[in-house]
Amino acid sequence: MNFFGHAAVASWRSGDPGFVLGAMLPDFASMIRARAPEVGDPALAEGVAFHHATDEVFHDASDFRELCRASFDELSRAGLGRGAARAVAHIGVEILLDGVLADEPSARHAYLAALRQRPRLVWRSEPEAQAFDALLEAMRGRGISRQHTTPAVVAYRVERALAGRSRLALGRGEAALVERWAESARHAVRGRAPGIVAELGARFRPARPLG
């Protein structure tokens, strides 16, 4: 699940912005190519643990697995190598799902509130700390927009995520293949999103509404 999706699901469990930020923290660390930092704040730490619990359920969700399978087949037929096709299918479906989850006002509110946090984290190096601060600042400025999950932007984000990974990185012209895939896949993702949300909700939505 991508970072916005983690924020959305975390908001079902807690309205604490620190908890929601913690649920996104492992993804943010990956985005700056760093190991997860040391976390002292209890809410942040609980959010990090919730991230891993969410991913375990999400990656086993039948609708998610079917979306990845169908996307892998389509991308392979389009000419992507097996490794790249598998990675694009996984990451691309997650990004497209973010666009569906962002329809929910409470998810948007939780995400933006989490980004306003100023967490105290211990990174391995000062450059990592600076990169994380810069990432949060950029994301605060970017906010939430439907443009973030258009086919062209999905292709760009996937290409950046895989850049520098020799067996997965997209070759010349392959971003256009990903964009064409995203154009058709976004409808399939929206169609299967309720099933994914239902599986996650059965595990993570509280029995009673949050107070």
pLDDT tens per residue across span 86-112: 999 999 999 999 999 999 999 999 999
Q: Token pair for residue 142?
A: 């970017």
Question: Does the model's pTM come out above 0.85?
Answer: yes
pLDDT at 204 over 60: yes
Q: Where are the alpha helices (DSSP H) in 36-164?
A: 42-59, 62-78, 82-101, 105-115, 126-142, 151-162
Among residues 166, 152, 14, the alpha carbon closest in space to that of 92 is found at: 152
Q: Token pair for residue 179?
A: 């964009």
Q: For residues 141 and 115, is the Cβ–Cβ distance under 8 A?
A: no
Domains of the chain, residue spans: 3-204
pLDDT digits (tens, 9 = 90+) for 156-191: 999 999 998 888 999 999 999 999 999 999 999 999
Across all residues in the chain, what is the average pLDDT?
94
Tell me the average pLDDT across 133-137. 96
pLDDT at 209 over 60: no
Location of structure tokens 């999905």: 154
Q: Token pair for residue 51?
A: 């991230």
What's the rounded Cα separation, in Å, for the pair 21 and 45?
A: 10
| 211: confidence class by pLDDT, cuts 50, 70, 90 | very low
Amino acid code (one letter) for 29: A
What's the rounded Cα separation, in Å, for the pair 107 and 168?
A: 31
Tell me the average pLDDT across 188-207. 93
Distances (CA, A) of 123 to 36, 39, 49, 134, 139: 8, 9, 18, 14, 19
- pLDDT value for 130: 96
- pLDDT value for 206: 80
Location of structure tokens 């973030």: 148
What's the rounded Cα separation, in Å, for the pair 198 and 195?
A: 5
Torsion, Cα of 32, 106, 61, 38 (10° steps): 30
| 147: confidence class by pLDDT, cuts 50, 70, 90 | confident
